[in-house]
């Protein structure tokens, strides 16, 4: 027997792991491998080589179940909110219940209600006299409470807007009361603007307020306010109200210190077919184009000038149709000059009015 070899022992004549470039096994891995070999005849199974199983931590369970659940709940809540808002307009009583609740979020319901009245499905709501009366009561109650918070102010503004969207006379009295109350100028202006819309709706429906004289008186009082924005809104609304008292006040408003008030008064007079508007309309048509720079202010001023001139041109067209007469010579020359205005909208409007005047001249020959 060769003393240099022992079949039962390891061969120490070969290279060691470090000599052959192999990496030493970690102690834990070595223990697992040895235990597995001893149990399976030096042949470890796949299960023996798996890492030990540890129970999940509480943080892992929260991430796995609780966080996705919260996200799903938020998504469902948002969907239910939009679903509720989408169907709220089909139930007027739901709006009234929300508006009667004494909480700070009622102004949002009033805004949504006004938008629904103005929307494609609002025709039925606009004709609901009982609903208009109840909304007016909510407005009167809020005013009676004397609150001055921002939420209360917003609620009153949007309730006025909602009442203006109706097409029934029952919506008039609460708006007239608010327009005549000059102690709250912001609400008074909202009521005046809402009355202008409401009166247009009533005219389209072929009906009139029960007391048009009271409406006119409230508008005239608002047009005499110290607040120029309220005077401007009242000037516009007086053109919707109509009548001799309204026209007489509009003639006076053409001498107002505010450009906006004068311009609104002139276009309102033109809507009523009163040629007293021509003097102020000539002033509006004479406004020169503004060279707009990169800043927002100059761009805004140029846009406003274009808007004023276009409105003046439309007013001239209304007067030509209403009176059947040609405009004064100074108006005609200004219209002709505006046909070459650098602003395309002004140029298009001036061309249309000039052609109308020319047709009127041809018909008079």
Identify the CA nearest to 318 among candidates 265, 281, 271, 280.
Answer: 271
Question: Residue 84 has which token pair?
Answer: 């509720």
pLDDT at residue 102 in the model: 77
| Mean pLDDT, rounded, of the chain | 82
What is residue 88's predicted lDDT score, i.e. its pLDDT?
46
Residue pLDDT tens, the chain, 365 long: 444 444 444 443 444 444 444 444 444 445 444 554 444 455 555 555 555 656 656 555 555 555 565 565 666 555 444 444 444 445 677 778 888 887 777 888 888 888 888 888 788 889 999 999 999 999 999 999 998 889 899 999 999 999 999 999 999 999 999 999 999 999 999 999 999 999 999 999 899 888 899 999 999 999 999 999 999 999 999 999 999 999 999 999 999 999 999 999 999 999 999 999 999 999 999 999 988 778 888 889 999 999 999 999 999 999 999 999 999 999 999 999 999 999 999 999 999 999 999 988 776 64
Domain layout of the chain by residue ranges: 66-210, 273-365
In this predicted structure, what is the pLDDT of residue 198? 96
Distances 54 to 26, 51, 57, 103, 312 between C-alpha atoms, Å = 20, 9, 9, 53, 83
Of 172, 307, 313, nearest in space to 241 by CA? 172
pLDDT at 85: 46
Residue whose structure tokens are 């108006």:
331
C-alpha–C-alpha distance, residues 123 and 80, integer Å: 26
Return the residue matching tokens 């807007």. Answer: 161
State the Cα–Cα distance between residues 339 and 255, nearest whole angstrom: 29
Cβ atoms of residues 198 and 164 within 8 Å = yes
pTM across the whole model: 0.72
pLDDT at 116: 84
pLDDT reported for residue 120: 80
Residue 100 pLDDT: 83
């Amino acid at each position: 027997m060769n003393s240099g070899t022992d079949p039962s022992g390891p061969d120490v004549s070969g290279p060691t792991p470090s000599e052959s470039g192999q990496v030493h096994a970690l102690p834990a891995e070595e223990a697992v491998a040895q235990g597995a070999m001893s149990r399976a005849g030096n042949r470890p199974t796949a299960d023996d080589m798996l890492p030990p199983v540890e129970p999940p931590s509480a943080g892992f369970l929260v991430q796995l179940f609780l966080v996705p659940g919260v996200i799903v709940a938020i998504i469902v809540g948002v969907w239910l909110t939009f679903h509720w808002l989408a169907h709220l307009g089909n139930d007027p009583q739901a709006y009234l219940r929300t508006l009667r609740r004494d909480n700070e979020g009622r102004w949002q319901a009033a805004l949504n209600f006004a938008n629904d009245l103005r929307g494609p499905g609002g025709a039925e709501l606009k004709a609901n006299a009982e609903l208009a009366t109840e909304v007016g009561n909510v407005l009167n109650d809020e005013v009676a409470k004397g609150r001055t918070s921002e939420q209360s102010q917003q609620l009153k503004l949007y309730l006025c807007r909602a009442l203006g969207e109706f097409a029934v006379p029952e919506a008039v009295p609460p708006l007239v009361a608010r327009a005549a109350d000059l102690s709250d100028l912001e609400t008074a202006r909202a009521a005046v603007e809402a009355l202008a819309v409401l009166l247009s709706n009533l005219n389209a429906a072929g009906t009139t307020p029960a007391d048009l004289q009271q409406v006119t008186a409230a508008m005239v009082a608002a047009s005499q306010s110290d607040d120029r924005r309220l005077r401007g809104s009242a000037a516009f609304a007086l053109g919707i109200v109509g009548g001799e008292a309204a026209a007489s006040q509009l003639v006076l408003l053409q001498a107002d210190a505010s450009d906006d008030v004068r311009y609104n008064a002139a276009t309102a007079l033109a809507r009523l077919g009163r040629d007293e508007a021509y003097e102020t309309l000539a002033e509006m048509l004479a406004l020169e184009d503004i060279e707009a720079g990169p800043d927002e202010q100059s761009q805004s001023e140029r846009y406003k000038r274009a808007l004023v001139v276009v409105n003046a041109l439309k007013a001239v067209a209304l007067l030509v149709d209403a009176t059947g007469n040609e405009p004064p010579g100074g108006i005609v020359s200004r219209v002709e000059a505006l046909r070459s205005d650098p602003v395309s909208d002004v140029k298009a409007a001036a061309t249309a009015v000039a052609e109308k005047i020319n047709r009127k001249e041809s018909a008079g020959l």
